[in-house]
Structure 1
Amino acid sequence: MVKYGINDRDYVAINLTRLANDVGTTPQNVFKIINRLAEDDLIIKSTINGQLAIKFSQRASEALRFVIDTIRHYLDERLVIRLVGNVVSGLGEGSFYMSLDGYVKQFIEKLGFKPYPGTLNIRLKPEYIKYRLYLDALPGIYIEGFSNGVRTYGSVKCFKASIHGLPGAILLIERTHHGLDTIEIISPYRLRYELGLKDGDEVEVLVNL
C-alpha cells in the first residue's frame, strides 16, 4: 500500500483491479483484505467521488515505524531514500513560516537545530516522485499545528536529511501550494549560499528514515 501512496494523513483512492493484479489475486479478495484491515483498525475507509479510498490508522502508522526501527536495529545502519531534483524559486513564504515561534520551538526540540529562516525548494525529477510518495506514507517527525488567536497554522511532517553533506530536514507540509513534484528543505545553514546554488542546479537529498 505504501507503493500507492497510502499514508496516515489523507485518503487515497485505490483501484482494486490494479492492486489485485499487482499482488496476484482477485479484486474480490483485495476487497475482503481491506475490510479485514479496517476491522483490525489498521486502515480507515472512505470514498472519493464514489471510489473506495483508504488511509492508514494511527495504529498502522506506529506499527510501520516499529518495523522500520527494527530493520534499522538489526542492519545496524540507517535506511535512506535518495531524491534528486533541480533548485527552483518559491514564493518567499518560507522565511515567514520558519520565523514563527510555534514552529521554531518544535524544530529545535524535535530536529535538533534552529532552521535558517527560509526553505530551499527542489523540483524532483519524474523518476523520483514515487519515492516522495513513499515518504507521505511513512511515519515521520510531526511538527504540530497551532493557532496564534488570529490564524491557524497547519501541521508539518519532517524527515531528517542531508543535502550535499549539510544537515537539514525535508518538510511535508499539510497546507501547501506546491505539487507532489516539489519538496522543501530546511537547514541551520543558508543552503543556497553555502552550496553556491542557483535555480536549475541539480541537487541530491538523502532522507533518513
Structure 2
Amino acid sequence: MKIDGEVTTGMGKAEFFLSQEFYINEFKKNLGFIPYPGTLNVIVDAKYLHDINEIKNNCKNIIKPDTEFGAVKYIRAILNDQIDGSIVFPAKTTHEENYLEFIAEEKLREKLNLNDGDIVSIEF
C-alpha cells in the first residue's frame, strides 16, 4: 500500500519515548536501527483510514514494555521511495487517527528538507 500525506508538526512527545532505553533496544533488535528521537508526523486523507486501521489491528509486531509506558505496534515502511523506517502505532496517543508517525534512523525533516505542508509518500 502506498499513500500520500501532509507533513505536520507533532506535539514533541515522541522524543521522550524514543529516548527510553527499552524502546531503543527493541527497535534496534526488531528493525535493525536506532530511531532518531522523534517522529515525522504525516496527516493522511480519511479515504485511507479503513485500510490503515485494518493494518494496525492485524499487526503482530508489538513492543510491550514492562513499565508504565504503553505498547507500540510497528510496521516497516518506506518514505518517499528512499528512506527505510517504520510506521509506529502507540497504544497511548493523543493524535487523531489520521496521523501517521514515521520513525527512521535520521532526522527526516533535515535530511529531506521537509516543512509543514509538504507532501510525502509512505509505502508499507
State if a TM-score over 0.5 links the two structures.
yes
Which runs of 5 or more residues in structure 2 are unaligned?
none
Residue 116 of structure 1: how far off its partner (Å): 0.6
Who is 1:199 aligned against?
116
Q: Distance in 2 between matches of 1:119 and 1:112?
A: 17
Q: Distance in 2 between matches of 1:91 and 1:139?
A: 25
Length-normalised TM-score, structure 2: 0.94
| CA deviation vs aligned residue, 1:166-187 (integer Å, no higher than 9, x gap) | 1110001100001110011100
1:167 counterpart = 2:84: yes
Q: Secondary structure at the residue paired with 2:36?
A: coil
Residue 146 of structure 1: how far off its partner (Å): 2.5
Residue 96 of structure 1: how far off its partner (Å): 0.9
One-letter amino acid of the structure 2 residue matched with residue 142 of structure 1:
I
Who is 2:74 aligned against?
158
Residue 126 of structure 1: how far off its partner (Å): 2.0
CA contact (8 A) 1:84 1:128 kept: no
Q: Secondary structure at the residue paired with 1:153?
A: coil
* Aligned equivalent of 2:22, options 102, 108, 131: 102
> Percent sequence identity over matched residues?
31
Q: Secondary structure at the residue paired with 1:131?
A: helix
1:117 counterpart = 2:33: no
Q: Distance in 1 between matches of 2:18 and 2:120?
A: 22
Length-normalised TM-score, structure 1: 0.57
> Which protein has the larger Cα radius of gyration, Structure 1 or Structure 2?
1
Which runs of 5 or more residues in structure 1 are unaligned?
1-80
| CA deviation vs aligned residue, 1:117-176 (integer Å, no higher than 9, x gap) | 1111111012222221121222231111231xxxx0011000011101111100011000
Between 1 and 2, higher relative CO (CA 8 Å, sep ≥ 6) is seen in 2
CA contact (8 A) 1:83 1:131 kept: no
One-letter amino acid of the structure 1 residue matched with residue 6 of structure 2:
N
CA contact (8 A) 1:102 1:146 kept: no
**Which residues in structure 2 correspond to 1:65-144 (within 5 Å)?**
81-144=1-64
The total of aligned residue pairs comes to 123
Deviating 4+ runs (over 4 angstroms): none
RMSD: 1.0
